[in-house]
Amino acid sequence: MKTRNMPKLTVKSAADTSKKWGDVTPGRSGYYESETPGAASSWEANTIAAGPTFKTAVAAGNIDKLYVGGVKRAGAEKFARKVKDVGVSRFGPGVSAAITDFEKNWTDFQTVLAGIDKPAKRPRGDPGNRTIIATIDDALYKKRLALLGAAVAAA
């Protein structure tokens, strides 16, 4: 059986491709701004529908190796570089943009904390003091599960 010589696929170098990407993509911010908000409802619906796939994926037998491999591939150098080159300049504006979300989410938990009848404090070192922590932890955990629609039935 004769094999035909197939032409090789022509691929630009990584340097050429990354240069073009870096030159062209920042100019697409107007497109991002105009098109992305319209995708919010389909993002939500598709993400909710992907719940079973997510569960299967995170339960895969090799998920720990994939996770560790991704971390190793990125490495500490990239993490540090991205903090310096991108993270610092975005930190303040990101916090400012999140004030409304922070307040809404904190209010859910602040209300729970304010409503807890805290057990009486006992003498220093008394194991009974751990009930204070357990009471607070239990209330916050139940609220978190309720907010996520994942409340666990009582045992």
pLDDT in tens, 106-136: 999 999 999 999 999 999 999 999 999 999 9
The fraction of the chain above a pLDDT of 70, given in percent, is 95
Q: What is the overall mean pLDDT for the chain?
A: 93
DSSP 8-state code for residue 36: S
CA distances from 85 to 4, 21, 77, 89, 90 (A): 50, 18, 12, 8, 10
Q: Is the pLDDT of residue 95 over 80?
A: yes
Q: Is the pLDDT of residue 154 over 70?
A: no
Whole-structure pTM value? 0.66
